[in-house]
Amino acid sequence: MERRRFTRYAGDGLMVMLGGKLLPAADVSLGGVRLTDPGTVERGAVIRVRVIPHQGEVVLLGQAVEVEGRVLATGPAGLRLAFLRTGYSLAKLVVRHARRQSLDGLFMPSGR
């Protein structure tokens, strides 16, 4: 039985600012984010991060969202963070990200 409440999307195009380090998101959903770098944060800790979209090398700071989350796990698969509250700005960022991924797939030239 699937325990996830929200669909996960590949993190391509999202960065997360954690403790002064800018890290790539492995995947994201309305419920949380997974980072490939496990860092040194302990399981159960409540931390504040900034989720920042980017397109290529252009970081879209105007669309960044600060959010608090609880660290669910750290290890070889990375750091899993559950968002404590999914406000409008965060939901908008995740939905935009999901839409951009879907559209990118539609407009990619075939055979390349």
Tell me: pLDDT of 104 over 60: no
Rounded average pLDDT over 97-101: 87
- Banded model confidence at residue 107, pLDDT cuts 50, 70, 90: very low
Q: What is the pLDDT of residue 4?
A: 66
Residue 86's SS3 state is: coil
20 burial type by CB count under 10 A (0-12 exposed, 13-18 middle, 19+ buried): exposed
9-106, CATH topology level:
Thrombin, subunit H (2.40.10)
For 30-41, the pLDDT digits (tens) are 999 999 887 788
Structure tokens at 12: 């391509």
Question: Would you say the pTM of this structure is higher than 0.85?
Answer: no
Q: Where are the domains of the chain?
A: 9-106
Confidence at residue 38, expressed as pLDDT on a 0 to 100 scale: 73
Q: Report percent pLDDT > 70 for the chain.
A: 88
Output the CA–CA distances (angstroms, integers) from residue 57 to 53, 60, 108, in the order listed. Answer: 10, 10, 19
Please check whether residue 63 is in contact with residue 94, taking contact to mean a CB–CB distance below 8 angstroms: no
Q: What percent of the chain has pLDDT over 90?
A: 57
| Structure confidence at residue 2 as a pLDDT band (50, 70, 90) | low
Predicted local distance difference test score (pLDDT) of residue 110: 43
